[in-house]
Amino acid sequence: MIWTGKAFLAVSQENRGIIWKSSDGSEWDSLSLGDLPWMSSILISGNQIIAAGMAGFLMTSPDGEKWTRRETGATENINAMVWTGTHYFAIGNWGTLLESKDGISWQSDFSGTSQTLNSIAYTGSQYIAVGDQSTLAFSSNGVFWKSMRVFTDLPRVQNRLNAVAFGNGQTLIEEKAGIFWPHRMASIGKPFMNRRAKYMTSFGQGNYGWCYPDMD
């Protein structure tokens, strides 16, 4: 879901070819775009809105009303996107990774993994994507990517990292169970060491789990 400055826009895998729109977040109207694939991700950057989803489907809009389909060359589902300020990145099933400078022309890159990727974030210096089988893919320049499995020794982890977000100098990774793992990314790529650290569940309850701290 995004906020355009005038309205909220949302997409859903349960509704093919539909953009949901609301001015207040309470009452929603559907904008039907015809017999199109379902969409799972929507992104806004400056004066452009991008929605993407099933089998590499992607389209752009200047206002959320008029949409234009774009070719990505991808055949797998697109699960998430991020705008870095200069480039767009989209990730998806079976390690799908797409890159674009303008959101219109897209090229395929190697993400360093064949695992499905579910979420992507940009820290200002690192690109981070997380996915199935506790997979974390990362890159310092968006061109060369590496991947690794994390949290493999944790009994609570469900083998799926569902979301990643960056803010206030820290990256949070959410596993399938709805538990957020704090992790500072300065040392990414170095051997990891676990220690006890407080995490927050999606219900706002404090608890204790494992995280991967800096190794500086």
Kindly list the domain boundaries of the chain, sorted by start residue: 1-110, 121-216
| pLDDT category of residue 199 using cuts at 50, 70 and 90 | very low
Residues 162-180 have pLDDT tens digits of 888 887 777 777 766 555 5
Estimate the share of the chain in helix, then strand, then coil, as percent rounded to the nearest 5. 5, 50, 45
Half-sphere exposure of residue 196: CA atoms within 13 angstroms, side-chain side:
2
Cα 136 to Cα 148: distance, rounded to the nearest angstrom:
5
In 3D space, the residue among 101, 96, 99, 100 whose CA is nearest the CA of residue 111 turns out to be 96
Q: What is the pLDDT of residue 15?
A: 87
Sheet with 48-53, edge to edge strand ranges: 39-45, 48-53, 58-61, 68-70
- 176, amino acid identity: K
To the question of pTM greater than 0.85 for the whole model, the response is no
Which CATH fold topology does 1-110 show? Neuraminidase (2.120.10)
The neighbouring-strand residues paired with 83 are: 88
Q: What is the pLDDT of residue 50?
A: 98
Residues 1-28 have pLDDT tens digits of 999 999 999 999 888 999 999 999 999 9
- Which contacts of 41-48 are long-range, i.e. CB under 8 A and separated by 24 or more positions? 41/11, 41/78, 41/79, 41/80, 41/81, 41/90, 42/1, 42/2, 42/9, 42/10, 42/11, 43/2, 43/81, 43/82, 43/83, 43/88, 44/2, 44/3, 44/4, 44/9, 45/83, 45/88, 45/103, 48/103
Residues 65-84 have pLDDT tens digits of 999 999 999 999 999 999 99
